[in-house]
Structure 1
Amino acid sequence: MAQKSSGLMRMCSFLLLVILFLPRGMTSSVLTVNGKTESHVLNTQLGSEESLKCAVQNHTGDEGLLWFREGGAVDLKSENKINSSAVCVTAISEDDNGVTFTCKLQRDQSVSISVVLNVPFPPLLSGNDYQTVEEGSAVKLVCNVKSNPQAQMMWYRNSSILTLEKNHHQVQQTSESLQLSITKVKKSDNGTYSCFAYSPLETKTKDFHLFVKDRGSSVPIEPIIAATVVVFLTLCFGLIARRQRIMKCCIKGEDPQRETAL
């Protein structure tokens, strides 16, 4: 009986030593951001400021923390790295929409938690305002758009929805642009086209001016250049051939007094 008790004591002591000397990497530290234990989306507003505080839970000793904005590391002060760390995002703009901030455990970066910024803003439109095209050629009007939430897009002309002609107009839309392609441009295509972006926040519009010029007559440049070169060379050879005669005329025209004998 005493031997069994002694053996049980030795086993308990061994297990206790194993627990005490477990590598720190095997401890179950958990990260939180602003009290949340899961990665999440943070709704915010244009021009506002957000503070993201990352903290280590269940740690048995000091833990270093790292912050990343997208793929780049955030520069942290030494006192803002141990057990808890905060980053501040100021003057939030349209460019911050969809940006991911990630907090990681320094010794084991597989332990991490992320926050994605959601910044609602009205449509921002851009593109080439003026285009001149020759009759019979093709042209593309591209209306670039940034918006959150995504805007519904439409082409207008003369205050009415553009009537699309088969084999003449083609419209393509992505999350970043609305494109109007016109093949075999006609004089009647001349005018102002308006890109409308409809958003729950605001409706924006941008005008695109298309100028259609007459089809130019195609002038063959190469023959003109060749003819010019031939004329130039002909003149040069003519001057060289007449040089002797010109020189004789000049000699005959000199003052005869210069030939007086001594």
Structure 2
Amino acid sequence: MKVSVGVSLLLLCFVCRVKAVTIESCPLATGNLLRTEVEKTLTLTCINDEGIEPSNQNELQWFRNGAQVNLAEENRRSRSSLCVQPVTKEDNGVVFICQLKGDASVNSSIKFDVQYPPDLNDTKEVYVEETSDVVLSCDIRANPPVTVAWKKDGEVLDLTSGSYKTTNNGITAQLSITKAKRDVHQGTYFCEVNSSVYGIMGRTFNVMVEDKVLRFPVGPTIAGVVVVLCTIVFALISRRNTIIKCIKPN
């Protein structure tokens, strides 16, 4: 009984080995996770197990997030290679699958973990009128995710005053200022982003609070001017007619 079980297990392992494809990568992956950075070049090679007979049904197919990749005929046989160049942010989380054309259950997959920093390190000039609202925004999309802190004039911003509000959805971090006042809100703000891989970076905002400009509605103002002008013109015409009537011919 022990011998028969051993033989059965041996046959099972043999069958599993025959029906298999594997993916090799450069650089090397950890398990089925390939960690890399933007602008790098990646090479994936799918290999048929030696036990698989070459045939049309045993051709290799590649899929990127479920969409089939077009391959040259000579790149579908016992070895099939893909080159990803350059790696971009959009490649993060992408899954490549290599499988047999005739048996999709015979497959191997690899997932990309693309690391990249947020697109920051710049300065913006921001002008806001007294008592108006303003929003400062930072693009913080990054892998790995970053932490965010807001500073004003080099000091950590006190968010308890009630005139500030922060939001962070993992893609954009925002600082909202309500009813700006020159003596309170004017200054240099810094959106400080801290990455465990890329260090500290951020965006600077030079916020200038200007005097509030009184604005009059253009439409009603123009209409009022027209009415006044028309009244003056009619008054002058009426006055002229009255004067003419008073003048007697010689």
| 1:117-164 CA-partner distances (Å, limit 9, x unpaired) | 223333432788232222222221111123222111111111111111
- Would the aligned equivalents of 1:140 and 1:180 in 2 still touch at CA under 8 Å? yes
Matches within 5 A, 1:199-214: 199-201=195-197, 202-214=199-211
Rounded to whole Å, the distance in 1 between the matches of 2:164 and 2:105 is 52
Q: The residue matched to 1:219 in structure 2 has which SS?
A: coil
Q: Shift in Å at residue 48 of structure 1? A: 3.4
Question: Which aligned runs of 4 or more in structure 1 are off by greater than 6 angstroms?
Answer: 235-244
User: Structure 1 residue aligned with 2:190, among 179, 189, 194?
Assistant: 194
Matches within 5 A, 1:216-227: 216-227=213-224
> Aligned letter for 1:54?
C
The residue number in structure 2 matching 1:29 is 19
> Aligned letter for 1:30?
A
Rounded to whole Å, the distance in 1 between the matches of 2:195 and 2:181 is 33
| 1:213-239 CA-partner distances (Å, limit 9, x unpaired) | 222224243431212332454577689
Relative to structure 1, the CA distance from residue 110 to residue 212 in structure 2 (aligned partners, 3 Å threshold; closer, same or farther) is farther
Tell me how many residue pairs correspond in the alignment: 217
User: Structure 2 residue aligned with 1:87, among 57, 62, 82?
Assistant: 82
Rounded to whole Å, the distance in 2 between the matches of 1:83 and 1:136 is 70
Relative to structure 1, the CA distance from residue 110 to residue 221 in structure 2 (aligned partners, 3 Å threshold; closer, same or farther) is farther
Relative to structure 1, the CA distance from residue 233 to residue 67 in structure 2 (aligned partners, 3 Å threshold; closer, same or farther) is farther
- Would the aligned equivalents of 1:129 and 1:207 in 2 still touch at CA under 8 Å? yes
Percent identity over the alignment is: 33
The residue number in structure 1 matching 2:147 is 152
| 1:171-206 CA-partner distances (Å, limit 9, x unpaired) | 112222221111122212112110111122321121
> Aligned letter for 1:197?
V
Matches within 5 A, 1:62-73: 62=55, 63-73=58-68
The residue number in structure 2 matching 1:134 is 129
Report the TM-score, using the length of structure 2 for normalisation: 0.71
Q: Give the structure with higher Rg (CA).
A: 1
Relative to structure 1, the CA distance from residue 213 to residue 111 in structure 2 (aligned partners, 3 Å threshold; closer, same or farther) is farther
> Aligned letter for 1:122?
P
> Aligned letter for 2:185?
D
Relative to structure 1, the CA distance from residue 219 to residue 49 in structure 2 (aligned partners, 3 Å threshold; closer, same or farther) is closer
Relative to structure 1, the CA distance from residue 242 to residue 115 in structure 2 (aligned partners, 3 Å threshold; closer, same or farther) is farther
> Aligned letter for 1:199?
S
User: Structure 1 residue aligned with 2:45, among 45, 50, 53?
Assistant: 53
User: Structure 1 residue aligned with 2:162, among 155, 164, 167?
Assistant: 167
Rounded to whole Å, the distance in 2 between the matches of 1:144 and 1:151 is 11
Q: The residue matched to 1:229 in structure 2 has which SS?
A: helix
Q: CA RMSD in A?
A: 3.4
Deviates most, 89-98 or 187-196: 89-98
Q: Does 1:229 align with 2:219?
A: no
Relative to structure 1, the CA distance from residue 242 to residue 46 in structure 2 (aligned partners, 3 Å threshold; closer, same or farther) is same
Report the TM-score, using the length of structure 1 for normalisation: 0.68
Deviates most, 225-234 or 70-79: 225-234
Q: Does 1:113 align with 2:103?
A: no
